[in-house]
Structure 1
């Protein structure tokens, strides 16, 4: 056929004849078919492995609300943002940090670290949800090495400088008299921004590093390290750290990272799950969560929920009924609603429709007699309690970079199926509480929200947009009981009347005095009327 060699490929016959039919492919077509077959087999093999990715590109439905919140500002970590113009300025510092890191252990050579990372290359590639193409070749290993050494060296420098600062402060405190020490402690209470500037000043004193001598750079790098798209596997960091510092405990890297991230948000001090961290964002996320104590807690894992969903999917396939289809969709995912009321379908456990009504905003709750109290004894912002009409909420500090941190914590929970959704639930709760600047002002007066933004409207805008495009599973809502109890309290008319009485007549001393005077006057008038009328009905004998 004009000199063209043809390859015959057996194909199923669509006619009534049972004999197979052969179709001819050109060499180019055969190569394309082989490539597609190889790609399909690789994808199926990856799915069968059962190991989901852990580092994701943020879904477009979430990203479109605020794209800047998911992109690094000064340093790129990993392949997703590697080579972008915005972060090119930090590449030179990475090489400087690599040189500094290698000098810490003269026994180890650069080749030793590269060989160790090559052993983890396949595992590291599988951690990314988007395919990290083989065209990167050795560039992938080089990138893992450069970024990993930069992160480890950065934490080592921060830890050394922090220890030096603590040592100098301890020496100064020994020379201060007890009374002067007490006064100094009161005078040196700083807000988070002043505390960060003080820390940066100490860094500049102890180090000639350009990163630590640039105001705000340390903080920007910290926030960039907590972006979902800006991660490398924690196993890479751990391997590099252990090779360079074999005399230290393996979990010391996690401790140094958490000590550095402490300036961003209070966290649980206990080092747990020492060998199961996926990346730095997962490490930070894990230590912001307290031990579950609520009835609806997913026990910090979605494994049980995933198994439940899988069982429901199996039943759905075997016994497809209209009710099972509706209930399956109800139990898996729900969008955040635009209204404040969700009408769920009828389930087997509840013969009547289940109605989940969102709690009113803070201002309306106050009118219903709910009291707000700052919870100081909590190690996590997630530890919200409601009891006897008092809603206890841990204090929350909000700065210009808080929005970025919040969004990436939620994005991680949305993408990683084995993660709990406690931050998603918490911000859903805060979105219910905060509708307008009046709600922010109320929570600010109670000490629950402390912010350094331009206005209360900016804070309300932040919370109102955090949950756009977010899926929520009410089976995993650890605050579901709290919502129901608040609703019961608000439906009690006696609570509303008592709150109205307290608000109208007991807000200041003059109102109380006026109420008492009016009550006395009313009592005297009734008594006088009684003694005036009584003789007519009971005349003297």
Structure 2
């Protein structure tokens, strides 16, 4: 009988190259949690990097965030105590069931255990239970901000699986969404206080996606600003960036607080008088962070114009821009630092 030659073991370099070229996960088509481009982050890191807690792999291990790891373990214990009737083995199986899929959502390796921390945090927050993280004056604000950073997300299906295991399948995804929305709307900064679409509308990639879907209007929902010149324009005006406030004022435009705006996107411009009326918004680090991460989320998905509601908040006065010429965008009209 003819003997076959033994297959020589692979060279370690060959193995390393194969692992680089053909990784265990896919080619990146399933990535849903992206890095903000470095050239954008470097302009103002505070807008995109967590100040208190790391979620997912991108900031795990950072010295300034390590103190929160003990709080994560503490909230994990509280979560398991809250689910006393559910065996620990059920949660372990739930984690194992989504772990591989979750890792494919990032460009770096991750753990799904942050999902326990997020759920317990929202349980406590929703029920008004005392906790050191929420009782400190700045704790709740920083946590809320950190949980809505583009680079600081965990796949939503992880939260769904853990939530389903906690309630033993007795509730639906709608219940989870409602719990999250209660807190997102109560602590809204840039977004409206009430969801624009309170009903369940589909699958979400993560918490920031949920915020965007529920609170940021789609382009078709944004009516063009009214221009009171006596006759309607025969064709839609061309969309342009808002000139900075100083350029608008130099052109003779004055600003007034709108008495009864439908929402923050309701802008009107009186061409004859040169008066723009809009909602007054106080801009500070928290709501600026939220807005910029919503825009980064839209851009990371290759979002089409119909979905770019957050970016359109920076372009709402396009009628004005068409009349007096677009300048370099520094601060949207009506925003005050």
Pick the TM interval, shorter chain.
0.7 to 0.9
How far has the Cα of 1:86 moved from its partner?
A: 1.1
CA contact (8 A) 1:288 1:380 kept: no
Cα distance per residue 1:67-114 (max 9 Å; x no partner): 233221111111111122211212222122112111222221222112
1:76/1:31 CA distance change after superposition, 3 Å: same
What's 1:117 paired with?
A: 95
SS in 2 for 1:58: coil
What's 1:156 paired with?
A: 123
Cα distance per residue 1:238-284 (max 9 Å; x no partner): 11112213444422222222222222324342324544111111111
What's 1:280 paired with?
A: 207
CA contact (8 A) 1:382 1:422 kept: no
SS in 1 for 2:135: coil
Q: 1:57 aligns with which of 20, 35, 56?
A: 35
SS in 2 for 1:287: helix
Cα distance per residue 1:161-193 (max 9 Å; x no partner): 1xxxxxxxxxxxxxxxxxxxxxxxxxxxxxxxx
What's 1:362 paired with?
A: 245
How far has the Cα of 1:218 moved from its partner?
A: 1.1
The answer to whether residue 101 in structure 2 is matched with residue 144 in structure 1 is no
1:488/1:278 CA distance change after superposition, 3 Å: closer
What's 1:264 paired with?
A: 188
Partner Cα separation in structure 2 for residue 103 and residue 385 of structure 1: 53
Q: 2:219 aligns with which of 279, 289, 292?
A: 292
Partner Cα separation in structure 2 for residue 64 and residue 122 of structure 1: 31
1:107/1:222 CA distance change after superposition, 3 Å: same
Whose RCO is larger (CA < 8 A, sep 6+)? 2
Q: 1:416 aligns with which of 301, 304, 307?
A: 301
Q: How does 1:353-502 map to 2 (within 5 A)?
A: 360-366=243-249, 368=251, 370-375=253-258, 377-378=260-261, 380-386=263-269, 388=271, 390-418=275-303, 420-427=307-314, 429=315, 479=316, 483=318, 485-487=319-321, 489-490=323-324
For structure 2, list consecutive stretches of 5 or more residues without a partner in the other structure.
Answer: 1-5, 225-237, 326-337
Partner Cα separation in structure 1 for residue 127 and residue 158 of structure 2: 22
1:157/1:417 CA distance change after superposition, 3 Å: same
Partner Cα separation in structure 2 for residue 251 and residue 284 of structure 1: 14
Partner Cα separation in structure 2 for residue 230 and residue 295 of structure 1: 29
Partner Cα separation in structure 2 for residue 108 and residue 87 of structure 1: 31
Query: TM-score with structure 2 length normalisation?
Result: 0.75
CA contact (8 A) 1:376 1:395 kept: no
Partner Cα separation in structure 1 for residue 115 and residue 219 of structure 2: 33
1:387/1:240 CA distance change after superposition, 3 Å: farther
1:226/1:486 CA distance change after superposition, 3 Å: same
Query: TM-score with structure 1 length normalisation?
Result: 0.49
For structure 1, list consecutive stretches of 5 or more residues without a partner in the other structure.
Answer: 1-6, 9-25, 133-139, 162-205, 298-354, 430-478, 492-541
What's 1:253 paired with?
A: 176
What's 2:329 paired with?
A: none
SS in 2 for 1:106: coil
> Which protein is richer in helix relative to its size?
1
1:358/1:256 CA distance change after superposition, 3 Å: closer
Partner Cα separation in structure 2 for residue 119 and residue 291 of structure 1: 34
SS in 2 for 1:232: coil
